[in-house]
Every structure is written in C-alpha cells, then in structure tokens.
Structure 1
Amino acid sequence: MVNPPHEAMHHIFRHDLHLFSRLKDVLGLPLPDAVEAVVLPNDLTETRPVERRVDTLLRLDSAQDGSLLLAIEAQGRKDPSKPASWAYYVSYLWTKYGLPTVLLVVCQDRATAEWAALPVSSGPAYMPTLSVRPIVVGPHNMPVITDPAKAAEDLALATLSAVTHAGDPDIGAILKALSTALRDVPENVADPIIEFTAQGLSKRPAQELWRTLVAVDLSFYKSYLAEEIRDEGRAEGKAEGRAQASADAILLVLEQRGLDVSDDVRARVTGCDDPETLRGWLARAVTAVSAEEIFAEE
C-alpha cells in the first residue's frame, strides 16, 4: 500500500537524480559519477493482465563506465513475497533495456533493512540460478546529520537521512539541522525538501516536531505544509487536539534524548494549552541539556 513515507523514500531520488552517485562514501561502494541521470517509466506491466511497477526507475550515464539502470524500492516492512518481485524487476529491466541493473531498497527501520539485505536465490542452495542482492539504505548505514552546515551541503542527502532515521532518538537534532539549513535557500529549493520530509515522517511522532520547526524556523515559506499548519492553528475546535499532540511530542523528544522528565515538568507540559508556548518548548526540547531547561526563557 502506497503511503507518504513510501513515496518520500524513493521520490527523493527523482527530485535529485545524482543523489545515488553521492552515496558512494556512505555505502562504501565504487559507484560511478553519473554524467546524466534520466527518469524512466516505472511501469513494468506485461502484456498479460498482471501489473508490476517498480517504485522509481532511473538510468545513470557515466563517461567512464557507460550506463546502468537504478531500480529503487521503498520498503516499510518485511514481506516474504518481495524478493521474487525484485528478481522479476531486475530480470525484466535487463531484458528490456540490455543494461546492468542495480536494485536499491530504502528502509526506515533496522530490522527491515537487515532482512532486505539478505541474499535470496531462486534456485536450490547448490545451484543458485538467480540471486538477488540489493543495496540497502536505512538507519544502519545512513549518516546522522545534526550539523546545519553539513545539511546545507547536500539537502537531498540530509532529507534522506531524516526520513531513514525517523524513529531514531536523534531525530530532533536531525530535523533541527535540516530546518536551520533551509532558512538560507530559495523558496523553490526549500519547498520540495519540506514536503518530502513531512511525507517521510508521516504517522510518526517526529512529524509533529517537523511541523513545528517548519512553522517556527521557516514561517516565511508558503509551502502546502506550512499553510496547512497555519490553517490548523487558526481553525476553531482543533486547539485541544493540537495542544495534546504538541505536549506528547515534547515529552517524546525529551525521553528519547535520555533526559529525566520529572512529574512537575510532565504536569506543566500536559497542562499547557497555548500553541505558541508549546511550540517554543518543543523547539527547545531538541537541544536542552535538561528537561527543565525548556522553560528557561519564561
């Protein structure tokens, strides 16, 4: 089932066609520097009424090594049927285009990433006719980018880092670095990064933190997400639900960072119903050295 995190994990490679080539230092692989990258049709449907679609398909052209195909799959959970589908994709693309094909699987949790990285053969163990050995990107090998300067050097890589580390205890610092880096870039550059990050964090606690950072750090942008946040803030009848979500996000960030949250802090956070105050506390929770420090400026 297609969902926002699924779309973000592979669409970021369409947004920045050279992102894969720049992963060579991260993955420790001798990847070629693509001279040109082309988005190809992702429809792998046969003439029979069986529809098969790879999430994203790119052709990478290198002056030194010629061309190769990059099939990108976003995988949210373990699925025993997937290796066979991946084998089909690679075989079909090899047959159709006559080009070497690389399969890249992007995951958001370590268990799924480790499962996806396991080699699977279609034949018996003593005669592996076809083996699937995908390259896997996930929280186990993506860099944790918490320095705004580093994030600014490669916004697409910083976005992929944020999406794949959506459940990481450092996600607050990762998102803060990204939102800070976006302050100094043109709006047309920042907008897709804002949306990809929001999609990638969908249905996770970190999404509320990202929404708050967009509203506070990037308030001058007019992206869909930023406007949605402001509309929600003005809508009557939603204040209580928004306050509860913000309070939950504050406590989650503090706890995931290993800070001791006293009963007094918890009571003060959950008892507050002012959206602006809660946003300020949430922004400070990312870098505070103690839970009490989020109230320091008051």
Structure 2
Amino acid sequence: MPGSSHEAMHRIFQKDPALLTRALQGVLRIPFPEPRDFAAMNVDLTEIEPVERRVDTLLRAETDEGTYLLVVESQGKPDERKRGSWPYYLSYLYEKYRCEPVLIVVTQSSATARWAAEPIHFGVRGCPSLTVRPFVLGPDNVPVIADEREAERDVPLAVLSAMTHGRGPQAAAILESLAAALRTIDADSAAVFVQFVDSCLADRRAQQMWRDLMTAIQYFWRHPLAEQVREEGREEGREEGRLEDRVEMTLNILEWRGIQIPDSVRERVRACTDLNQLELWAQRAVHVTDAGDLFADDRS
C-alpha cells in the first residue's frame, strides 16, 4: 500500500487542483493551457469487462541489441481511433513482455501513409508526455519492382511491391515481373504469395490481369484460389467455354503488357480450337516482345 508520503504528494492536488496548473506553468515551464474547470475522476483504470484488442501481426525479433516486438498494422484509410489504440498496444506490450515494441503500418494509399506517419502526441502541446512515431510502408517508399531479375532476387519484396503499387500506373509491369519470379520458388510459397497479391488488388482490371497471369502458371490451378476464381466466373454468369477463356486470356495479357496485336494475330488466336495450343500461347504471352512470337515454334 502507498505510504503517507506517497499519499500526500498527490492528494495535495486534489485539495487545490489549480496548484497543479501553476506547477506545470511556473516550475516546469510547460505551456499548459489555463483550465476552465476541474473534475475529480475515478482513479481505478481497471477494465471491469475485458475489451478485445488485437493487432494485425505480432512478431518477436531477437537481435544482438536485444529483443524487439514488431507490431504490423494494415491500414486501408485514416481511422482516428487508431491514434488511441496504437499507443495502447505499444504500452501494453512493453509492460507485459519488457521488450521494445515497434509499430509498422502498411498501406496502399499515399494519403493514408501520410496520415499514419504523423506522430501521435499525448499531453501538453509542444511538450508531450508520450509520443508514438509509427513507421509506415506505402506507395511512397516501397520500391517499384518491375524488372524480372530484380523480382527474382527478392520475391517477398516484389510481392510487397505488387501489394502496395497494385493500383498504380506500373501495375502491369510489376505483376508481370512477379509472375515470372514466382516460377523460381517452391510452389507452396508461391501459392500463398498469389493469394496475398490477389486480395490486395483493388483495381478490377489489375486483379483480372493477375489472375490471367496466374492461370498461365500451372501450379496456380492446384491451389484453392483457382477454384475460387472459377467459381466466381460461374457466379457471374459466364457462358464462354474453356476455349474462349484461353483466347481472351492470351489477348488480354498482350494488351495489358502494351504489345500491339496485329489483326492477323488476333484472328489466328480467335480461330484456334486446340485447348493445349491456346494454353501454350497464353504462357508465351507473358514473355514475348512481339505478338507474332506467340507462333514462333509452331509455324504452319
């Protein structure tokens, strides 16, 4: 229990609340604003009913300099409630684990990134008692990886690039490079990355391009997301058969890559009734630099 000295040191301010203001202003030189009124409040901060609070991802990192707790929050848009919950998370985690907590916010929006990067200050303006400075990953600082070799060197970073830049003007080049890089890693990991990217592509056209690219990679069709894509196609009332799907996929990939399609190429692709041939052309469409190269090894 607190001793008498402890009690006296804080109860004096209950007796004369204005003394606290004078102490802040005159002793500590803190520009605390002049109060209009004071009200005593319950000092018990215990939560009678537990409040569920969850972070998106929490990782424990052991380093030579000590242990860190990495708190990762995905943020779609500004939410002023987070200005209160984020400091709570960090304080709670430090009190519970006695490890340094680090807050990282990930967003696809430049506006949200700017909002999230603003320091959170609690206390007197200009002299806060608590300041939280989130680290933000977003379109303005995550690198654009639109080169196949660069994507292969760091596939997870290429995935993050696709997730944060998926709505930007370079989306097609980013997705194309990532699709090629996914061939260099194990199928299980690639399938997980496929889902991450698919779920982050808010632009419908970019998402369809991604799914078309993944259709051309055979391992994708062994993953549950493939059945989801096919089911969505059925729900949307698509009546075209597998042949028509492959025709459109081949032409769409070329168009999204910015490759000009001569009428002769378009007509030949549309006239094909060999499913295996169309699937081969769809795979070639990911890499060719000229539409005519679709037929490079099967000239007739």
- TM-score (norm: length of structure 1): 0.65
After TM superposition, list the pairs within 5 Å mapping 1:81-92 onto structure 2. Answer: 81-92=81-92
The structure-2 alpha-carbon separation of the partners of 1:48 and 1:74, relative to structure 1 and needing over 3 Å to count, comes to same
Spell out the pairing of 1:16-165 with structure 2 (5 A cutoff): 48-62=49-63, 64-165=64-165
Larger CA deviation: 147-156 vs 126-135 = 147-156
SS at match of 1:49: coil
Seen in structure 2, the aligned counterparts of structure 1 residues 233 and 126 have a Cα distance that, compared at 3 Å, is closer
Paired residue secondary structure (1:182): helix
Query: How far does residue 203 in structure 1 lie from its aligned partner after superposition?
Result: 5.8
1:105 aligned counterpart, secondary structure: strand
Specify the SS of the correspondent of 1:123.
strand
AA at the equivalent of 1:139: P
Letter in 1 for 2:51: V
Aligned residue in 2 for 1:209: 209
Q: Is the 8 A contact 2:166 2:201 kept in 1?
A: yes
Provide runs of 4+ in structure 1 moved above 3 Å.
Answer: 202-205, 217-221, 227-237, 249-254, 286-289, 293-298
Deviations 1:113-136 (A, max 9, x none): 011101120112132111121000
Shift, 1:296, TM fit: 8.5
Amino acid across the alignment from 1:198: D
8 Å CA contact retained: 1:104, 1:135: yes
What residue ranges of structure 2 are gaps of 5+ in the alignment?
1-46, 296-300
**SS of residue matched to 2:102:** strand
Q: CA RMSD in A?
A: 4.0
**Count of residue pairs brought into register by the alignment:** 238
The runs of 5 or more residues in structure 1 that have no matched partner are: 1-45
Deviation of 1:229 (Å): 3.4
CA distance in 2, matches of 1:53, 1:252: 43
Give the distance between the partners of 1:150 and 1:141, measured in 2 at CA. Answer: 17
Query: Per the alignment, in what secondary structure is the counterpart of residue 157 of structure 2?
Result: helix
Amino acid corresponding to residue 144 of structure 2 in structure 1: V
Counterpart of 1:197, as a letter, is: V
What residue is the counterpart of 1:30 in the other structure?
none
Distance 1:114 1:252, change over 3 A: farther
Deviations 1:68-108 (A, max 9, x none): 11111000001122111111111111111111110000000
- Percent of aligned positions that are identical: 42
**Larger relative contact order, structure 1 or 2 (CA cutoff 8 Å, min sep 6):** 1
Higher Cα radius of gyration: 2
Output the CA distance in 1 between the equivalents of 2:199 and 2:103: 23
Q: State whether residues 76 and 108 of structure 2, in contact with CA within 8 Å, keep that contact through their aligned partners in structure 1.
A: yes
SS of the counterpart of 2:105? strand
Change over 3 Å in CA distance of 1:128–1:172 after alignment to 2:
same
Distance in structure 1 (CA, Å) of the matches to 2:209 and 2:227: 16
Q: Which residue of 2 aligns with 1:185?
A: 185
